[in-house]
Structure 1
Amino acid sequence: MSLRIWYNRTFSTASHYVEMIRRNADQRQFEIYVTHPKTHSLMLQIADYAEPEPTLPLYEYPGYCLDFCKKHNIDIFIPHFGMSEIVKYRSEFAKIGTKLLAAGDAELIGLVLDKGKLFSELSTLKSIELPDYYVVSTVDEFKEAYHQLKERGHRVCFKPASGEGGAGFRIIKETLPSIQSLYDPCGPGILLDEAIRMLSSVPEFPPLMVMEFMSGHEYSIDCLASSSSLLAAVPRKKVEGRVRLLEENELLIEWAHEIHKVIPLQYNFNIQVIYQKGKPKLLEINPRTSGGLYTSCLTGINFPYLAVKLLLGDQVVVPEPEFGIVATHIEKEMIMHRSFQ
């Protein structure tokens, strides 16, 4: 008998993970359910069952998820959107027979998603180097943080303390752009005076991390773990453009083990690191599958399916990863067979 897996609103590259679960080595059968508010989402096209997802206030969203799982007899729910709220209701999902594939409980995920709290928690680890940073909520704190970082010789950037991806990331510029900037690609730069003007418009704003700007090679470390043990860690280096190197970087693999001892995330999660002057520094941790995890699966580790096996309590044997692989990806056309208009 097949098990039913539901993916709620998530990014389109999760379609790769659906196919990896379907093509599992155990030949286990799954039915994939997908919902998404965008009626032309690729995820809706690759599902066995799909329907548009309503737009709801976040406080109402877990109720919708519980109703969906109950209505469709969902065995495994892999939440992305609203995950930090959904995990608060884990016991309610368990009562209706649905297992949540989420990297931790509400407290742990809340800690990881707040970069200020996360950095504070990891500051006790001598082996993990953090960037210079300040968490600020007023314009005076912002200006003081900026000047402190400049005095240490840093270029300065800032981003929301809680957020996903590159949303809100800005690099501070001190001089007016030249006319050439009108012909260059748009970037995340913002003039210092403009940032101060906008932040001054309110007495207090949601916490920002003001930090040193790091410009070296960036790595994503894709991880598979139980709550007690890290089972796999694959450092994925951004070489250039879309080119990635799956690198047996022993230092970063050891970092993943050290971080997991303090932040015991489970199933699939991702650690992001940037090198600065030859040394790696932690950027953030994502308590979910990363958008580029499908590349790390080229090592021979089926991260999405093994996470499902862990959730089900099955024995998990992780193959020895094949490192040294250089990979890229290209766009591919796809005819849409479903219409929800």
Structure 2
Amino acid sequence: MKKMKIYFNRWFSVAYHYMNAIRNNEDGIEFEIYATHPDPRHMSLQGCDHAEVEPALQGLEYVKFCVDFCRRHQIDVFIPRLRMLHISKHVHLFDEIGTKVIVCRDTELLEKLMQKDKFYESVAETGIMTIPAYQVVNNAVDFKKAYEDLAAQGLRVCFKPTNSEGGLGFRIIDNDRDPLEELFGHVTKWISFDEAYQVLSSKESFPDLMVMELLEGFEYSIDCLSDSEGHLLAAVPRRKAGGRLRLLDDKPELLEIAKRVAQTYKIPYNFNVQVKYNGDTPKLLEINPRMSGGLHVSCLSGVNFPYLAVKLALGGKVDPQTPEYGILASHIEQPMRMKTAETVSPV
């Protein structure tokens, strides 16, 4: 039986772990893994069998590059991260060459997921979970009003761009800070209202910001596996437990949220729900329609999330999984010899 060929385009460094998880699958299927990235020494390329340098392209031109890559290397399954929306909009180009793509084909949903305020509106309409109090602003006057409205409710306030990934642009408003002390300390995510207002007032308008209540309880990242019909096959709630520690936690209310998200939005393959508690209530932060940055930790539950997504894409049957919970996990650095630039093929 020939090796199945998997392709990762520009991914995070943790794709190294996903590649190894697929390679070390429980069915004993052999895979040949391909990857591209603009940086020939990027960590994600160290886990693949064949690497190429990725060109700087946008939109349809980038999709055509990926299609050509899949055609040239006869790729069986493509696992995209960069330009997921564009790839989803043109997924028929991959269908035509016989490459399965691990992506949500509901482009309207993908667009909402990438605009946090639009997705919050959608979640509020469905009632499947609680969302934080928030207002969307794009000028300093509205920023001030939103801050004052939330503060008047007794809420601590934070803000972040409506269209960002991870913690980019996230700030917490704290008016009790000591600027001199911070000047000699670490760079922080805290900022006073006056400082934020001064910066935002320097422009007539700015890209949309969500001004939100600050959630101060435990933050959970729920790694999920689902089929295209909305059947949740696995869910593992994972939270920070101090320092490098991570706890894979059995939280019935979070497992129920994962189930409702799968049934409502039918996001196929891997997706991730991020929530944070306010008291006893978990509230939505965001949903990522892809493998999360910490998914390899959730795989310690006994569920091989990356491989099972590939198995689904190839038409295989995946039964509901039984994750092991209550696992306290961590990680250590391990030295390794890098592949040199000469071993990475230029495009």
Conserved 8 A contact 2:136-2:211: yes
Q: Which residue of 2 aligns with 1:143?
A: 144
TM-score (norm 1): 0.95
Residue 238 (1) aligns with residue 234 (2) = no
Supply the distance in 1 between the matched residues of 2:102 and 2:277 (Cα, whole angstroms): 31
Task: Give SS of 1:315's match.
Answer: coil
Task: Give SS of 2:65's match.
Answer: helix
Residue 100 (1) aligns with residue 108 (2) = no
Stretches of 4+ moved more than 6 A in 1? none
Q: Call closer, same or farther: CA 1:300–1:318 in 2, change over 3 Å.
A: farther
Task: Give SS of 2:312's match.
Answer: helix
Correspondences of 1:1-341 after superposition (within 5 Å) = 1-126=2-127, 128-175=129-176, 177-228=178-229, 229-340=231-342
The amino acid across from 1:212 in the alignment is: E
How far does residue 140 in structure 1 lie from its aligned partner after superposition?
2.1
How far does residue 178 in structure 1 lie from its aligned partner after superposition?
4.1
The number of aligned residues is 341
Supply the distance in 2 between the matched residues of 1:250 and 1:276 (Cα, whole angstroms): 17
Task: Give SS of 1:74's match.
Answer: coil
Could you tell me which runs of 5 or more consecutive residues in structure 2 were left unpaired when the two chains were aligned: none
Task: Give SS of 1:56's match.
Answer: coil
Q: Which moved more, 1:200-209 or 1:97-106?
A: 200-209
Q: Which moved more, 1:73-82 or 1:105-114?
A: 105-114
Supply the distance in 2 between the matched residues of 1:183 and 1:203 (Cα, whole angstroms): 32
The amino acid across from 1:30 in the alignment is: F
RMSD of aligned Cα (Å): 1.7
Q: Which moved more, 1:105-114 or 1:12-21?
A: 105-114
Supply the distance in 2 between the matched residues of 1:56 and 1:194 (Cα, whole angstroms): 37
Conserved 8 A contact 2:225-2:269: yes
Supply the distance in 2 between the matched residues of 1:216 and 1:185 (Cα, whole angstroms): 23
How far does residue 187 in structure 1 lie from its aligned partner after superposition?
1.2
Supply the distance in 2 between the matched residues of 1:339 and 1:10 (Cα, whole angstroms): 18
Supply the distance in 2 between the matched residues of 1:260 and 1:140 (Cα, whole angstroms): 39
Could you tell me which runs of 5 or more consecutive residues in structure 1 were left unpaired when the two chains were aligned: none
Supply the distance in 2 between the matched residues of 1:262 and 1:151 (Cα, whole angstroms): 34
How far does residue 52 in structure 1 lie from its aligned partner after superposition?
1.1
TM-score (norm 2): 0.94
Supply the distance in 2 between the matched residues of 1:196 and 1:16 (Cα, whole angstroms): 42
Identity of aligned residues (%): 48
